[in-house]
Amino acid sequence: TMGGTGATLVVPFMFMWLSKSKRNKAIGRASVVPTFFGVNEPILFGAPIVLNPVFFVPFIFAPIANVWIFKFFVDVLGMNSFSVNLPWTTPGPLGIVIGTGLGLMSLVLALTLIVVDVVIYYPFFKVYDAQILEEEKAGVSSTDSLKEKVEGSFDTKKAKAVLASVDANENDPKVFENKIIEAKNVLVLCAGGGTSGLLANALNKAAAEYGAPVKAAAGSYGAHMDIMKDYDLVILAPQVASNYEDIKQDTDRLGVKLAKTQGGQYIKLTRDGQGALAFVQEQFED
């Protein structure tokens, strides 16, 4: 799954180099670097690919095809399987070559998967690019068009209520009064380490602005066990909040505070540095 969920490594390059739509070209340029390192939220939600019927088939089928081909190379052609544990942000092509022991066959596999993923995504990309180009020529906002498509296929009442709540809270800002005296290290966990970076960055900027002794770092759930002991507070992003009870056994044993967040709440915290610091402060007031 090079490039994260959906094997999207090739998609930003296609948007950047092959799009006729100016909007799609811009999205490709903005998302190509993070996707190369496995953080593909910019292309998933920027294109978007998520909740986009056009990309449903390639988004599901490309990773499956990649695994089939990988298994063929290992079982039939005798390529080494994975034997090296690499950081999750290792670029997909390099991860395959290094992770399987720097074999020649793994280089061939990486190139093969790139070609296959382009072939799978290309027809659907062309359809979507033509749609967006037509909307641009007609002066229709792609955001409004996507909104109409989503509302026609899904019940969006709950989502609208969450966003309305976030907007209402942003219009009613609270002044942050720093009561954190001792240095606090905060670890924000999400599924892959990309979304958690948004909150970690917001916390670090706000801490510098308000002189709070707080340092935050982002991590991925599953890679946290060895570093968790070095932190005073662990915050779970919405994607991994369901693991709260499991991880609480470990945080209690280590004497580390644990907090979980919900969708609308997390969005607000990433946008509001004061609120993020206040949230951290609340965890230590118990």
Active site residues: 190
The 3-state DSSP class for residue 184 equals: strand
In sequence order, the β-bridge partners of residue 220 are 190
C-alpha 88: how far from chain center: 12
Non-local (6+) Cβ contacts of 213 within 8 A are: 180, 181, 182, 183, 184, 207
Phi, psi of 218 (to 5 degrees): -105, 145
Between the alpha carbon of residue 86 and those of residues 90, 99, 107, the distances in Å are: 7, 7, 17
Tell me if 188 sits within 8 A of 200, measured CB to CB: yes
Long-range contacts formed by 75-79: CB under 8 A, 24+ apart: 77/105, 78/105, 79/103, 79/105, 79/106, 79/109
Non-local (6+) Cβ contacts of 41 within 8 A are: 34, 194, 195
Long-range contacts formed by 49-54: CB under 8 A, 24+ apart: 49/6, 49/8, 49/11, 51/150, 51/154, 52/128, 52/146, 53/149, 53/153, 54/124, 54/127, 54/128, 54/131
Alpha-carbon span 236 to 283, nearest angstrom? 13
Alpha-carbon span 239 to 155, nearest angstrom? 21
